Structures are given as C-alpha cells and as structure tokens.
Structure 1
Amino acid sequence: HPRTQIFSTLLAALRERVAALPDQLAAEPEEAKRFDVMLLGTQLSLLRAEPFEKQRARIVKVASALEDLGTRIPAVAAQMDLIVQMQTDEWWVDVTYPMLEDVRRRLRPLAHLIEAKRRVVLYSDFADTLGEVTEIELVGAGPGGGSSEFAEFGARVLQFLTEGLAADIVAKVRSGAPLNAADMNELQRTLVAANVGDQDSFAAASAKLGSFGLFIRSLVGLDRAAAKRAFAEFLDDKRYNQNQIRFVNLVIDELCKEGRLPAGRVYAEPYVGLAPHGPEQIFTADQADRFFEVLATLNLADTGLAS
C-alpha cells in the first residue's frame, strides 16, 4: 500500500537522522569521558581568560603517555604528529579553543590505551594530607627573610620572566643550553634594573639553589622537548623496554617541573617503584653511565660549568 510505503520511508529517515535517547546510546569508555572533562575544563578556563597551567600539565602528561606507546598501535601512530607537537611550549603559546577541541576529538578514543596504573595518576586530583608540622629554614629575599618572603621573591621574578622580558635568555635556560657568565650577568642586571630584587636577594637565591642560572631554571622549568631530545636514545622502544622508558619519562617529568634533578633523587620515590635499587638495576653498566652523563649535562647547563 502506498501509505505504508511512505510511512516506512519516513520511519527509516527518522531512525537515520534523529539522535537516539541517552539510554539507547552505546556506552563509552570511562577514560574517554575523563579526557573530555579535562579538555572541556581547559577550554572553559581559556574562554574565561583564567590560568590553566595545572590542566595543561595533565594534558601534556597524557600526550607523553600516548607517545610512550610508540607507533606499533595504528590508532596512536595516526595521531603521533599532534601528540608530539602538543608537548612543546611553542604549541601552547597561542593555543585556541578550536585547537583544544581538535585535541579532544582526536585523542579521546586513545585514552583507554594508557595503562590503568598510569591513568590514575593522570586523571586523579589527590587531596593534600597534613602530617607532622616541621619548621624549616629557607634563605629569604634579603636579610632575615623567611620562606614566605623567598616564595614571594620567586613569584616576582617569575612574573617578570613570564611577561616576555629577557625572553631570549629565558628560552636558553629552558632549553638546557649552557649559559655563559655574560648571559647570567645580563639577566641579573635586567632584573635588578626593573626593581624585581636587589643584588643581595639574587646572591641569596643563587647560594640556595647552587647558581643564579639554577635559581632561574627552578622557576621556569626545563622545556619538555629539550629534555626529550637530551634523553632521546633512552626513549627508543626498539632498544629499551617499557619499564626503562617509563623510568626515563619520570625523570623528564621532574626536570620539566623543577628545572633540575640531583642524581641522588633517582634512588628515591617515585623512581624506586620502577627500579628499587636505582638505574643500575634496569640498565646495563654502559647505559647507566650514559644516563647519568646526560642528567649531569642538564643539571650543569645553568651553572657555567657545563662543557
């Protein structure tokens, strides 16, 4: 019957074009939803002109975890260019809402591929717990300065640096390139001239961190791309296993956040979770020597002692 045919045609069109009810949709992986929440929160902060450094750090860690999977998984390999690019500082300089939305749409199907233990760290927001209160003495900004004054001084220096002034030298600090005396003197003169601090304040900060360059690096961190270039040989999944690569990526994470990593740190948490007896347990003697050589080069880059 003609009417029956028309009704069947209309019903088929409705089924094709009209969205299903929420309870009729296929269940999505929990990891994809968590990734959505993280990206949408970042987009909201961007639109509100609010800082989103914390979200950015998490997104970069997700990208790093996906890169660690290598190109053996076709879905990851297809997005590898984006995964690598978004871990660089340059990608984030003029990041836009559409760029973040592109990341959300392209990487959300991959979120479930990250191993479960690492996902907990990437997506969880752990509350701080208070232990026993212990007073410690920190070098302050000037005579008699306490830890709060030192923190305020560091915040003033960081604000000055993030405004783009002395950008060339700051980029050199973040890149891990060796600084010479002229670089450090020029930056310190610029900061003093701008009334960010006086000579005594910078001398105290330099003594506390080991050098003026390391003080600046502790504020601005190390560029992730630079750290990955330095440790590139250890990130080759054809030469190193996943446990070794995860260990090196933990080192890179801390270098990017703190700016340096004393060699003794790799014998403590979180590193002992992967190598209870240190790098020597998971690397050969030659590999361990090379690992510490690369680490020393990055640590010494801002002291004026690097070769």
Structure 2
Amino acid sequence: MNKSKKASKSQKSVVNLVQALYVKGTIKEIKEKIAIIKEVLTDSCWRTLELGKLEHVRVELRDLIKHLKDDANGQTFNVDIEDFIEYVGETESLFSVKTYKQRVIDYLIENSWNPVIQKIRNLEPITRADTVELEKVLWNELGTREEYNKFTFNTLAGGNVAAFIRSIVGLDKQAAEKRFSQFLSDNQLNSQQQEYLKTIINYVNENGDITTDVLINESPFDSYDWQEVFGDNVAFISKYVNTLHSVIVAR
C-alpha cells in the first residue's frame, strides 16, 4: 500500500474512533475532552495537521477508548496513531468528498446547541415545524433525500429524521433517567433496574428509537424478566418506551 493510501486509511480509522467517542459524549470523562473531540472531527484540523497536534490528540484520547469496549454494534477499535504520524507529510492528498454521514456529523457538532437538537437529546416533544426544519437540513442542505434514504435503509430510524438525529447525538442520560423515575412511586432504582434501564437507553442511542415490539421480540430484551425486576412497576416499562418513541413523533 503506498503512503498516501495508508495515510488515508489511518485517518479514516482515527476519525471513526473519534466519532464513536463523540456519540458517547454524555459520559463524564468523554465530556471533559469534548472540545478536542469536536476539533478532530473538523476539516480544518486535518488540513493543518502537524506531528505535535497528532501526538496531543493521541495522549488526550487514549484513556477514553475503554468506553468503546461495549459498543452495541460489536465494533473494535485498534488504531495505531503513531503509524499515521510517519505519513503526516502527505495529508494534502487525503481529502476527498465527504460522505453523507460525515457531513451530518459535522453539522451536528457545529450546531450542537440548536434548540431542536437539544429537544431530541433531552426527551422534549418536537413539533411538525421542528421536523420540517430537520428535513430541510438533511434532505437539501447536507445532501439529498436519496442519500438520506440510502443511509437509513433498513434501520429503525427509517423515515423519522428526529430518530436518525438521535441515533447520532444520543440521549442525555440524566434526562432519560429522570423521565423514567417520574413513573416510579418511590423514585428510586435498584442496581438491577438501573442496568435494565441502561440497556434501553443504549439501544435508543444506537438505533434512534425503540418500541414495545422491540422489547418483546429482540435480544437482549426478550430474555429479561421484567416482572421480577420491576414488580408492581412493570407496566411503567411500556409507558416509558412509548414516551421515548412519542417525543420524536411530530404533532
């Protein structure tokens, strides 16, 4: 493999790794490094790449990789940034047309405080006007409806643009847990209940949406003993899942 191709492959690996960290940005350790994570995901970072900067990225992010070990898609990350440093002088040839996903992620990073995106992260109901705004961005400004459909084909998010956005930015963990606690009479979760709830939240973070059918028919939910773990509160699981789904269905 020639140098420019090897460098391009290494760059893609680094970007994929950092994107995976970004979508887990609610984790405290990752949140503390979010500034450098966002920087690495911008074009300008790679256009002005220097050895010192790349080494700084490696040192800053190396201890965060442990948070990717339980990635729901079964991905593994084994990136040798030092190998990439050898080819840093040839980065000029690395930039090609960005993929649709890369354009979307760039937009979400640069517009992370957009009110609609914040609604999606914080489990606040969205309106039809919010959906129209997202459709305009995703289908016109960042690409085409065809690109969107191709990227979301056979996914749970499908035609729901808010679910698609949520599959990238994820839920705010505290908001998700607070919403569930509102259903409980004692507002307290034991360790097993917390683990079950974490699985639901992780599923939504990866897929953008969830329904009661998923709880019945898909692993690992179909093997859970909901009644034993939640007792008299078991009915609230369905209510909670319906809430997670309904807040991204425009009214």
**Any conservation in 2 of the 1:234–1:245 contact (CA below 8 Å)?**
no
Aligned pair in 2 of structure 1 residues 224, 88: CA closer, same or farther (>3 Å)?
A: farther
**Structure 2 counterpart of 1:162, one-letter code:** I
Residue 280 in structure 1 maps to residue 227 in structure 2: yes
Matching residue within 110, 114, 118 for 1:167: 114
Matching residue within 9, 15, 18 for 1:52: 18
Identity score, percent: 20
CA distance in 2, matches of 1:269, 1:207: 18
**Any conservation in 2 of the 1:237–1:245 contact (CA below 8 Å)?**
no
Structure 1's unaligned 5+ residue stretches are 1-47, 64-85, 105-118, 129-151
- Note the C-alpha offset of 1:243: 1.8
Residue 94 in structure 1 maps to residue 35 in structure 2: yes
Give the aligned partner of residue 209 of structure 2.
Answer: 260
Give the aligned partner of residue 219 of structure 2.
Answer: 269
- Note the C-alpha offset of 1:221: 2.2
- Note the C-alpha offset of 1:263: 2.1
**Structure 1 counterpart of 2:229, one-letter code:** I
Aligned pair in 2 of structure 1 residues 200, 220: CA closer, same or farther (>3 Å)?
A: same
CA distance in 1, matches of 2:112, 2:153: 20
Aligned pair in 2 of structure 1 residues 58, 161: CA closer, same or farther (>3 Å)?
A: closer
- Note the C-alpha offset of 1:269: 2.7
Aligned pair in 2 of structure 1 residues 213, 284: CA closer, same or farther (>3 Å)?
A: same
* TM-score (norm: length of structure 1): 0.46
Q: Deviation digits for residues 84-120 of structure 1, max 9, x if unmatched?
A: xx2795x5543799xx99xx8xxxxxxxxxxxxxx9x
CA distance in 2, matches of 1:220, 1:59: 8
Aligned pair in 2 of structure 1 residues 153, 227: CA closer, same or farther (>3 Å)?
A: same
Residue 242 in structure 1 maps to residue 191 in structure 2: yes
CA distance in 2, matches of 1:95, 1:229: 29
Residue 230 in structure 1 maps to residue 179 in structure 2: yes
Larger Rg: 1
Aligned pair in 2 of structure 1 residues 191, 153: CA closer, same or farther (>3 Å)?
A: same
Aligned pair in 2 of structure 1 residues 213, 198: CA closer, same or farther (>3 Å)?
A: same
Matching residue within 166, 169, 178 for 2:125: 178
CA distance in 2, matches of 1:201, 1:178: 26
Structure 2's unaligned 5+ residue stretches are 1-13, 38-55, 77-98
Q: CA RMSD in A?
A: 4.8
**Any conservation in 2 of the 1:178–1:304 contact (CA below 8 Å)?**
yes
Which structure has more relative contact order (CA 8 Å, sep 6+)? It is: 2
**Structure 2 counterpart of 1:299, one-letter code:** H
CA distance in 2, matches of 1:206, 1:122: 24
Number of equivalenced pairs: 189
Aligned pair in 2 of structure 1 residues 237, 122: CA closer, same or farther (>3 Å)?
A: farther
Q: Deviation digits for residues 124-166 of structure 1, max 9, x if unmatched?
A: xx777xxxxxxxxxxxxxxxxxxxxxxx534432332223278
Write out the 4+ residue segments of structure 1 that deviate beyond 4 Å after TM superposition. 48-51, 53-60, 199-208, 233-239
**Any conservation in 2 of the 1:266–1:278 contact (CA below 8 Å)?**
no
CA distance in 2, matches of 1:188, 1:54: 24
* Secondary structure of the corresponding residue to residue 52 of structure 1: helix
Residue 215 in structure 1 maps to residue 161 in structure 2: no
Q: Deviation digits for residues 265-305 of structure 1, max 9, x if unmatched?
A: 33443345xxx3542342224x1221211221111211115
**Structure 2 counterpart of 1:94, one-letter code:** A
**Any conservation in 1 of the 2:149–2:159 contact (CA below 8 Å)?**
no
* TM-score (norm: length of structure 2): 0.54
Give the aligned partner of residue 80 of structure 2.
Answer: none
